[in-house]
Structure formats: C-alpha cells, structure tokens
Structure 1
Amino acid sequence: TVDLSNNRIGFDGSKAIADAMVQRKLEGRSDMQVNMDGNLVFQEVMNCVTHGLGIILCIIGTTLLNARVQNQPASMVKLVSCRVYSASLLTLYTSSVLFHSFFALQKTRRIFAIIDKCAIYILIAGSYTPYLQISLQHKPL
C-alpha cells in the first residue's frame, strides 16, 4: 500500500494517479493499493461552503414555511409536516458540512461518512412525511 494521503496533490494529480492505476491493471500487472484521502482540499472546502449555505437557506426556508402554514386549516398537521421536513433537511446539510470538514482526518471522516449516508435516508423519509401526512389525513390506513 502506498500512502499518498494529505499531500495536496489536487484533482489533476489524483486523477493522474487513478488513471495510472487503471492502466497498470489493464497491462496485467499486480494490483497496488494507493491511499489518496485528503488530497482534494479545494473541492472539500467548496463542498463545506455550499452545504453551509444550504444550512443558512434551510433555516430561512423553515422560518418562511412555518409562517405560511401557521394560520391555515389543519395547521397543526401541516406545521408538524413542515418541521419534520425542515429538520431532516437541516440534518442532511449539517452532517454533510461535518463530513467534508474533516477530510484530512481519516477515522473521523469514516464516522461522518456513515452519518452523512444515514442523513440521506432521513431526508428521504422527511420528504415523504409531509406528503403522506397531509394527503392521507382523512384516510385512515
């Protein structure tokens, strides 16, 4: 195993190494493991920035959405639905920011990778919740 982690190789260097590994395999030479974690610094920082912006927009959207549904008929069901969706969206963006923030710490990154993937499923459930709660409100299962 060759450890090239945290060397600031960047995207072009990482791609060149990955291409060389594919070429090596195509030539029938022995497989070699290369650890390149933590080399895409700019990409990870930009992921943090965009997902951090997502957190801010999520908070603004949650406030606006809650204000809009507060005085509607059956507002409690709609309010709970909006809050479940908003909480799941906030969970996704927060876990994503944390995952991309710790790109240089391999063990920590693995933990946040699991949390980030779980947050995707939480968002899927949170996205279906308002639709099901509101549309099936008067149709018991």
Structure 2
Amino acid sequence: MKRVNSFQRFMNRRASANCRYQPTCYEHAANCYTHALLIVPAFVGMTLLHRLSDNNWEKITAWVYGMGLCALFLVSTVFHIITWKKSHMRSVEHCFHMCDRVVIYFFIAASYTPWLNLRELGPLAAHMRWFVWLMAAAGTIYVFNYHEKYKLVELAFYLTMGFFPASVVTSMSNTEGLHELACGGLIYCLGVFFFKSDGVIPFAHAIWHVFVALAAAVHYYAIWKYLYKAPSADTLLDS
C-alpha cells in the first residue's frame, strides 16, 4: 500500500470530460524541462539551415521552418512555467494555453514547408504550399472558438493536418527523405497515446514531449540531409 501511495504522488486523478488535467509539481517540472532544453538547439538548427541556404527562397524557407520549431518549444515552455508557478493568473494561463494549441497547427505547416517549397511538385500539388497554412489558420479559429470543449475533435484536426499534406509529399518524383518523414510521423502517432494518458500514466505529458522532440529531430535530420546539406566531393565528381 505504501508503494502505491508513493507512486500516486507523481500523478493526480484523471480529469473529467472536457476539463484540463492538473499535473503534480513533479509533472509540472518535467513538462517544463522537456521542452525548455530544446529551445536553444532549435534556434541553432534554424541558424544552420539558414547558413546552408544557397538562395533567398531557401533562406526564407529555413526561417519559416526554424521559427515554427522554436515557437513550438518556446510557447510550450512558457505555458507550462505559468501553469506551474503562476496558477493564480488564470487569464494569462488561459491565453498561453490557447497559444500552445495554436502553435501546433503552425508547427505542422512549418514542418511541411521545406518539402513543399524546395522539392519539385506537380501543378495541383503546388497549391498545398498555401493550403497547409490555410488549415493552420482554420485550426487557430477553431481554438479561439472551441478551446477545450471538444478535445477529440481537436485531436482529429491535428491528425488530419498532419497526414493530409503527406499525400502530396509522398507523390514527389524525388523520394529521398520520405523514409525519415514516415518514421517521424510514426513517432508522433505513438506519442499521441501518452498525450491522452494524463491521470493514467505518470508524467504522460512529459513523455509526449519526448516523443515530439524525437520526431522533430528525425524530421530536422531529413530536411538537413536531403534539402540543405551541401553535396559531398564524391557526389560532385560523379556528376
């Protein structure tokens, strides 16, 4: 019984329908650190892609993707810090909670941007470059109107936006990097299990953060290697 009680201190009861789970102090700390430690690496990664860019279009694409990556970890960290340390500031907390949800839509759009901008696409597929941002805008409108009311609907929106542009990316004639894209997508999907397990598994949200970090790292590696990395000397000689 003592073991059960000591274990339970790391997790509170599961939240009721359409209510937000209240983490323990240990979970709050884990939620903050698991994304706070990635802000600087994300900024460094954005800078690296910018330096590897050969033209203005690649630089703009690197900036858009990098800002989406940095914003994801930064906004998440700020929200969790406010929730942990400033719980009495309900209006500010609510605002950053919405921002935390909104930034996910823009992060998904930003993650697809390098592939849609820097790979050759067909005439119909090229419209996805703009449509993916329209989906992000639609998600933002949804959050500001129905925040925390229909959690399953919101999750369905995230998954739809995550998979729908993939139908275009996977149809590209150049398939380099698609294996990494698929692996990253699978990691995100596996992490969703923990995203919905607050109050069931201790540190579930922090574990979700780890899955997000791993998936983002796989996708970043693919973008760096196949879209930005300078060709090797052997490749230049072969060409």
Q: Distance in 1 between matches of 2:69 and 2:20?
A: 32
How far does the alpha carbon of each residue in 1:51-75 deviate from its partner, in whole angstroms, 9 at most, with x for none?
1111111011112111122xx3xx2
1:10/1:41 contact within 8 Å kept: no
Q: 1:81 aligns with which of 61, 70, 76?
A: 61
TM-score (norm: length of structure 1): 0.66
1:116 counterpart residue number: 100
1:95 aligns with 2:88: no
Q: Distance in 1 between matches of 2:93 and 2:120?
A: 40
Q: Which runs of 4+ in 1 moved over 3 A?
A: 34-37, 136-141
Q: Alignment RMSD, CA only?
A: 3.0
Q: Note the 1:11-30 alignment, pairs <5 A.
A: 11-12=10-11, 14-15=12-13, 18=14
How far does the alpha carbon of each residue in 1:3-27 deviate from its partner, in whole angstroms, 9 at most, with x for none?
xxxxxx9434x13xx4xx99xxxxx
1:26 counterpart residue number: none
Q: Distance in 2 between matches of 1:36 and 1:83?
A: 34
How far does the alpha carbon of each residue in 1:35-92 deviate from its partner, in whole angstroms, 9 at most, with x for none?
973x5112112221221111111011112111122xx3xx211111111000111111
- Taking structure 1 as reference, are residues 102 and 68 closer, same or farther at Cα in structure 2, changes over 3 Å only? same
Largest Rg, 1 or 2: 1
TM-score (norm: length of structure 2): 0.41
What code does the residue aligned with 1:102 have?
I
Structure 1, unpaired ranges of 5+: 1-8, 23-33
1:133 counterpart residue number: 117
Q: Distance in 2 between matches of 1:118 and 1:88?
A: 11
1:81/1:133 contact within 8 Å kept: yes
SS in 2 for 1:102: helix
How far does the alpha carbon of each residue in 1:75-116 deviate from its partner, in whole angstroms, 9 at most, with x for none?
211111111000111111111011101112333222111100
What code does the residue aligned with 1:90 have?
C
Identity fraction in percent = 26
- Taking structure 1 as reference, are residues 67 and 40 closer, same or farther at Cα in structure 2, changes over 3 Å only? same
What code does the residue aligned with 2:75 have?
S
Residues paired across the two proteins, number:
112
1:5 counterpart residue number: none
